[in-house]
Structure 1
Amino acid sequence: MTAQLAPLAPAPPAVARTVEKRRRTGRRQDHPAWFLVPALIVLVVFFFVPTIFNFVYAFTDWSSFHSQINFVGFDNFASLFGNGSLLSDLRITLIYAVLVAIFQNLFGLILALVLERDTRINRFARVAFFVPVVMSALAVGYIFQALLKPAGGLNQILSFLTGQHVTIAWLGSTTWTIVVVALIHAWKWMGLSMLIYLAGLKTINEDILEAARLDGASWWTTFRTIRFPLLAPAVTFNVATALLGSMNGFDIVQATTAGGPGGTTELLNIFIFRTFGQGLFAQATTMSLSLFLMVTILAFPVIYFLRRRENVL
């Protein structure tokens, strides 16, 4: 006869509680939220802490000329707004941001419409126009600075085409240089706007467009009344990124004009950079705080308006 095995006795309550506790602890330690901890540490150390100190140092006399840091209240704001330099640079930064937002979205939308069809040539052209996006902004600035000099490549090409000696100072006008630099900035980032608009165009239902064509609507009527309104989310994203990116612009303008001629392209970040280099750290942090407030006051209402426009459309 074969011996029958006796059923296993249930574990004691203490052992069962220990096993259950280990299972729960293991599930908590394996939770995906733990993978966020390294990123949160980097974000806190390199973003939140410097931002907090930026707010604090704006109300002190921190500089390389003082051995101690003392609280001075709003004296830095009073002196900066009093001499007019800060307001002038804020105005230039705002003009630059608006120009970049207009040019970048206009070029990106035109490219998206031209390259919408999925052909081999269009795919190659999309990649070519996206290459400047991944290039260094300083490299782009120095390339255009070399091209736009009076003895640069652009004037040499014009001299060859016209048969006359052309020496136009493309970056020497106190009126139009900011437009030229905004065009360079827009040229660098128009590939990103193009991809966003292409993605938006691909999401439009073809049945709607076919119904419009059957009703006799022209290409312009279809674009104005159907396609462009349906691109509202893409417009919101592109306008927001262009405004925020250009308000914090520095590298392209620094490489091309360094704020000149006559300070007509001196963005606030260039002014901050020069002030830090002079050892006036408190004044520089005050300017940085002023830039933060300008972005908050001007950019986010624009984003809110565009979001409301999406809901209406």
Structure 2
Amino acid sequence: MPTTVDTPATAQQSGRSARPDRGAPRARRSVARATHPMWFLAPAFAILLVFFFLPTVFNFVYAFTDWSSFKSQIHPVGLDNFAGLVSDGTLLRALRITIVYAILVAVFQNLFGFLLAVLLERDTAVNRIARVCLLIPVLMSALAVGYIFQALLKPEGSLNGVLGTLLRHDVDYAWLADPTWTIVTVSVIHAWKWMGLSMLIYLAGLKTVPVDLMEAGRTDGASRWRTFWAIRFPLLAPAITFNVATALLGSMNGFDIVQATTGGGPARTTEILNIFIYRTFGQGLFAQATTMSLMLFLAVTIMAFPVIRILRRREEVL
């Protein structure tokens, strides 16, 4: 029987054929560049540059000028705009109202969303229909939601009519005219609009809890209530972080619901920063409005991001 002797040439050839083709990844990358060139992203980057990055840069620049509709030229004024807004107290008042509004919205939105997620967790036909119905406000225009609630909460509105029927006497409470509770009412409206999104995130978190952990808890004799709060709730930390962060960022940048329901009233008790910026810009004081928008940016950065970092650390601990 003939035998074959591996010469260096044949060994080198067989080794080269045994090794994977190193040129294949390079060829795939060249094909990817040919079929998906990076310049396809140029229109998106151009739109982002013109409508986001440039206005943001000019926002920092015009805050230190005297830009207004009453002057033909723009001159730098340093920190005069900041000093004027702080000295008369209007900026600090609007900032305080914005922070209170953001905290209330974050609490209500996450509370409503979490309770709904727990209530509608089971995959039944009724629960599926209820989930879809609760997501409808998320898809609605915020202005439309505000105007609907403005009509419902009038002294002669439908809510007082229903309460009057149940209590068997006339109810004419002005839900949007009480300086003490209007900020709470508007916060509940904002939370109602977005609670469907929070519910969806919490539902996703509940569905990802491993079944083995639940069975281990029940095997150890833990009750259903104890199993939920000791096992399932801690594992919802990523969902809580996302919902709290989005609620804070969205409410601090809120405008449309407050504008449609109260317009900043009564007695400017719901005049959040964006309402104040809108009014100031409408008066032609462009530099002051730009200064307030810069302060809003700083407030969001100072308030929201530390909260997000604390929640992320909590996720690492859990």
TM-score by length of 1: 0.90
Aligned to 2:211: 206
State yes or no: 1:145 paired with 2:145.
no
State yes or no: 1:51 paired with 2:33.
no
Give the Cα separation in 2 of the matches to 1:120 and 1:33: 46
Give the Cα separation in 1 of the matches to 2:75 and 2:160: 54
State which drifts further: 271-280 or 217-226. 217-226
Shift of the 26–222 alpha-carbon distance from structure 1 to 2, 3 Å rule, reads closer
Match of 1:76 among 69, 78, 81: 81
State yes or no: 1:127 paired with 2:132.
yes
Give the Cα separation in 2 of the matches to 1:29 and 1:210: 52
1:143-175 Cα offsets, whole Å, 9 max, x none, are 000000101110011111122111011111111
> Match for 2:224: what amino acid?
W
Aligned to 1:306: 311
Which runs of structure 2 are paired with 1:1-313 in the superposition (5 Å)?
Answer: 28-31=33-36, 33-313=38-318
1:211-248 Cα offsets, whole Å, 9 max, x none, are 21222212221121111110011001000000000000
Give the Cα separation in 1 of the matches to 2:98 and 2:146: 17
1:247-303 Cα offsets, whole Å, 9 max, x none, are 000000010010011111000000000001000000000000000000001100111
1:1-23 Cα offsets, whole Å, 9 max, x none, are xxxxxxxxxxxxxxxxxxxxxx9
> Match for 1:181: what amino acid?
V
Aligned to 1:231, the other structure's residue is in SS state helix
Give the Cα separation in 2 of the matches to 1:162 and 1:147: 18
Aligned to 1:9: none
Aligned to 1:6: none
Runs of 4+ in 1 over 4 A off after TM superposition: 23-27
Give the Cα separation in 1 of the matches to 2:202 and 2:38: 33
Give the superposition deviation at 1:32.
5.2
Give the Cα separation in 1 of the matches to 2:235 and 2:136: 27
Specify every segment of 5 or more residues in structure 1 that has no aligned partner in the other structure, as ranges: 1-22
Give the Cα separation in 2 of the matches to 1:278 and 1:249: 20
Shift of the 225–164 alpha-carbon distance from structure 1 to 2, 3 Å rule, reads same
The aligned length equals 291
TM-score by length of 2: 0.89
Give the Cα separation in 2 of the matches to 1:195 and 1:98: 21
Give the Cα separation in 1 of the matches to 2:305 and 2:52: 20
Aligned to 2:233, the other structure's residue is in SS state helix
Aligned to 2:271, the other structure's residue is in SS state coil
Specify every segment of 5 or more residues in structure 2 that has no aligned partner in the other structure, as ranges: 1-27
State percent identity of aligned pairs: 72
Give the Cα separation in 2 of the matches to 1:92 and 1:64: 28
